[in-house]
Amino acid sequence: MTGKTNERVKAVAAMAMLTALAIAADIFLRIPNIGGILTYEPKEVILTIGAFIFGTIPGLIMSLVVCFVEMITISTTGPIGLLMNFLASATFIGVASVIYHRKKTMGRAIIGLVSGSLAMIGIMLLWNYIMTPIYMGVPREAVLDLFLPLLIPFNAIKAALNSAVVLLLYKGVVTALRKSKLIPQRESNDGENKKVNTIILIIVSAVAVVTLLMVLLIFAKII
């Protein structure tokens, strides 16, 4: 086995381990029925650490796997729940890790986590406005009435808590993985390659376009 192949096998093993930990956190550490409709799961903490270590695309893949496992095990919301969970996780993880990987410093990590938090709050407000009336059969005015007392505080507290725990645990997780020889002893400060950044840009643009189209269709009273 060549050196590069060996490193890839170790990286896959580490990502599988982190994915399993995120699933366990999702199942055993969740706090359901917040405000009657929301659930807090700490899976984004582990997934963001994974994205900081291995890159944005691996982080998004791990997030999708965890959200899918949640859908087929403990979730009662089906594909809509999968969509909403993945949008929240992917937005937070994706934005935070893209910014962090441009230059791996504590300052960039904080900027990334704050930016990811703000992006996640905005995306989830829009998609709750789009999907909650369809899923729960309530008028959109009722969803708007939940923005200030429930949805904005919940997402802000969730993002702040997850960000703080990521900063608290990241160094320890990296150290443990290095001692286990699952990741190299030194991390590169080079930004992610142009191909990966292009893929991420396409994904973000697609989500933004779909979100805006859905909102426009709502205002046009088509949906």
How confident is the model over 50-70, as pLDDT tens digits? 999 999 999 999 999 999 999
Q: How far apart are CA 128 and CA 215, in angstroms?
A: 11
Tokens 């150290």 map to which residue? 175
How confident is the model over 139-181, as pLDDT tens digits? 988 999 999 899 999 999 999 999 999 999 999 999 999 998 8
Instruction: Give the Cα-Cα-Cα angle 189, 190, 192 (nearest 5 degrees).
Output: 125
pTM for this predicted structure? 0.90
How confident is the model over 101-139, as pLDDT tens digits? 988 999 999 999 999 999 999 999 999 999 988 888 889
90: Cα within 13 Å, side-chain hemisphere: 20
In order of 122, 138, 174, 203, the CA distances from 211 in angstroms are 11, 20, 35, 12
